[in-house]
Amino acid sequence: MRDLIWMIPALPLAGFALLLAFGKRLGEPLAGWLGTATVAGSFVVTLGVFLTLRTDGGADHRLTQSLFTWVPAGSFKADLGFLVDPLSISMCLFVTGIAALIHLYSIGYMHGDPRYHVFFTYLNLFVFSMLMLVLGDNLLVTFLGWEGVGACSYFLISFWFSEEANASAGKKAFVTNRVGDWGFMCATFFTFSALGTLSYTGIIDGASALPRSTATVIALLLFVGAVGKSAQLPLYVWLPDAMAGPTPVSALFHAATMVTAGVYLMVRINPVLAASAHWLPTLIATVGAVTALFAATIALAQNDIKKVLAYSTVSQLGYMFLAVGSGAYVGAIFHMITHAFFKALLFLGAGSVIHGMGDEQDMRRMGALRKLMPITAATFIVGWLAIAGVPPFSGFFSKDEILVYAWQKSPVLWAIGFVTAILTAFYMARQVYLVFFGDARWGEPVPEAAASPAANEAQQSAAEVDDTTATDANDEAPVAAHAASDAGADGHGHEAHADVHPHESPWTMTLPLVVLAVGAIVAGALNMPFFDRLKVLEHWLAPVVEHGQAHLTVSSGLKVGLGVVTVVGALVAFALARLVYLRGRQDVAEQIEQPVFARGWYYDSSIAAFMGGPGRRLFDAVSWFDRTIIDGAVNGVATLVRGGGDRVRVLQSGYVRNYALGVAFGAIVLVGLLLSRAVF
């Protein structure tokens, strides 16, 4: 299988090409099956390569394949080559595996869409790009994939989008990702000038010899790139908006694979991180932890079923960065894998619910779906328990490992992670109770009084696309959704109620759910704590992360203690959520949610009242920062450029003699400058 590495990305590429050429003729559902088959084939090849690597990997556990010299330029040379090592093959396994499942799911989900084949065309292109990103043996190939997944993401965000929202969300994603790309590109140049190579083997082998400052700059710039791609503070804003794309896209791009590219990159260059200044890992861990907490608080107050998951994704990615910063590279990858399973599961489950509810996304108009959609409900609950960190589900093990390393790094980081874990359990429980339990509230009018503060918060702190737009955008039939939400807003909810017939989804959609649910349960077995023999993933990844991995000095007792505390916290959160959202019903929920969570956790008057004057000012400062710097950065720069442009534009007066004066003036300045060199 050693020589077949190229087939891993080539199969989806072939699928892309075939769909591009014949997609329309193939039509539905053949186009979908073709797309699924190529990705599944890629998974099989990956499996073969994986087995080869296990048995036949050599001492350094690396297989490389160089196809051709891709970009020759002077002393600089980049091959189009692949590097297969434990890290990249693990990524490939779950990328192709999950992608195949999501392709299968999309066959059912996209049923009846007029642009059915186009969707699969993009999806295959995405898988190809993602595999290039992961398998590339140098920064340039990774960058190619990096940009490729970004481009597919823009295309698919706007797959169903209305004009204005398209512009807004697309622009946001474009600009924030540009910032990240800028970091990546600068890092590439620095790497080349420092090491004379861009290949990972060269970087990994040469990292220890790098001067500390150079290593720090490279790692920091790559971190900037990772922050953009993996939606961390302050560049997270695009991800919630991106949820407007079709749900399989959210599951594949914005939960399981693409957004983890930043984490992958950080793990990939762990020797550089190890060689950099000590404050950098701390910075990464802090950014991760703060993002995790920040996004979790926002997730508490969301009513859109996908928005909750979106913020939850940002939060979980924060955990992964916390892991990277704490030196738990294995933990980061471990959590990435488990997260891929349970978050893809949750998204697909949400998609199934949306599908079954006739394109309804507001959780306040759901409820009691567990009887009508038993498979979806059961698998969703598995995902919930996994993300909440209940043993023996996979999320428990990976999150626990990260928290232990965080404790070793700093108890403060652990505390933030712990609080986040509790919040995660709470908002996920809230989601499950609202969607699958309680009363059926299908088509009921949304209680506006309760909705507005939460909506405002959400808008201020993150997404600007309002809920209605996002809801519409995500529909297979936008017109119908308009009608539905209009009916709701007008208070004719009960007529609408009769029109909603929740039903279970077809097998192509439920099968992936079941497979992913199994994954979400057992993926924890990859890296069991305490028993060295059971740490399969850790041994497997050891050759890759040997430079960077921190050594755990925490005692077993403490480990158990931390684990128990986390689980108890999660269970308490469940109970609380049950109290609020099942027992207490709507009015009680409002009363409890509003002061404590919706307002309390972030920038609003209650925190100011709680903290007094300084808090108020801090809030003002934060919100000013948010408004002026984060949201306003784009507009600000644009205004600056525009203003500057308008001012300079006056010089372009249209008078040919003025132009001549400009030329003469330039000539005089040049002569002056050069002659000044002669004199001095």
Of the candidate residues 163, 449, 555, 612, the single one contacting other proteins (CB under 8 A)? 163
The three-class DSSP label of residue 167 is helix
End-to-end Cα distance, the chain: 68
Of the candidate residues 1, 4, 151, 381, the single one contacting other proteins (CB under 8 A)? 151
Q: Which residues contact 189 (CB under 8 A, 6 or more apart)?
A: none
CA pair distance 503, 374, nearest whole angstrom: 10
Give yes or no for residue 448 binding other proteins (CB under 8 A).
no
Q: Which residues contact 119 (CB under 8 A, 6 or more apart)?
A: 106, 110, 113, 156, 159, 246
Encoded one letter per residue, x for contact with other proteins by CB under 8 A and - for no contact, window 624-663 reads -------------xx--xx-xxx-xx-xxxxxxxxxxxxx
CB of 667 to other proteins, least distance (A): 5
CB of 676 to other proteins, least distance (A): 9
Closest to other proteins by CB, 222 or 284: 222
Give the CB-side neighbour count of residue 647, counting CA atoms within 13 A.
Answer: 6
CB of 654 to other proteins, least distance (A): 3
CB of 498 to other proteins, least distance (A): 34
What are the residues facing 73 on neighbouring strands? 76
Closest to other proteins by CB, 104 or 144: 144
- Strand 76-84 to strand 63-73: parallel, antiparallel, or no bridges (unpaired)? antiparallel
Of the candidate residues 22, 33, 174, 437, the single one contacting other proteins (CB under 8 A)? 174
CB of 657 to other proteins, least distance (A): 6
Taking CB under 8 A as the binding criterion, the range among 68-76, 251-259, 464-472, 600-608 that sits at the site for other proteins is 68-76
Of the candidate residues 25, 59, 114, 193, the single one contacting other proteins (CB under 8 A)? 193
CB of 147 to other proteins, least distance (A): 4
CA pair distance 123, 106, nearest whole angstrom: 10
CA pair distance 8, 93, nearest whole angstrom: 10
Closest to other proteins by CB, 224 or 432: 224
User: Could you tell me if residue 389 is left (phi over 0), alpha (psi between -120 and 50 degrees) or otherwise beta?
Assistant: left
Q: Is-contact 315 385, C-beta < 8 A? A: no
Give yes or no for residue 605 binding other proteins (CB under 8 A).
no
Tell me what percent of the chain is helix, strand and coil, each rounded to the nearest 5.
75, 5, 20
CB of 609 to other proteins, least distance (A): 42
Of the candidate residues 143, 223, 427, 540, the single one contacting other proteins (CB under 8 A)? 143
Of the candidate residues 72, 392, 411, 447, the single one contacting other proteins (CB under 8 A)? 72
Of the candidate residues 69, 213, 456, 459, the single one contacting other proteins (CB under 8 A)? 69
SS (H, E, C) 63-94: EEEEEEEEEEECCEEEEEEEEECHHHHHHHHH
Of the candidate residues 25, 58, 68, 114, the single one contacting other proteins (CB under 8 A)? 68
Taking CB under 8 A as the binding criterion, the range among 45-53, 171-179, 292-300, 624-632 that sits at the site for other proteins is 171-179
Of the candidate residues 25, 59, 74, 479, the single one contacting other proteins (CB under 8 A)? 74
DSSP string covering 283-346? HHHHHHHHHHHHHHHHHHT--BHHHHHHHHHHHHHHHHHHHHHTT-HHHHHHHHHHHHHHHHHH
| Rounded-to-10 torsion of CA 75, 189, 148, 49 | 60
Give yes or no for residue 70 binding other proteins (CB under 8 A).
yes
Q: How many residues bind other proteins (CB under 8 A)?
A: 60
Closest to other proteins by CB, 55 or 75: 75
Give yes or no for residue 291 binding other proteins (CB under 8 A).
no
CB atoms within 10 A of CB 321: 30
CA pair distance 274, 517, nearest whole angstrom: 36
Instruction: Name the site residues for other proteins (rule: CB under 8 A).
Output: 68-76, 143-144, 147-148, 151, 163, 166-167, 171, 174, 178, 182, 185-186, 189, 192-193, 637-638, 641-642, 644-646, 648-649, 651-667, 669-671, 673-675, 677-678
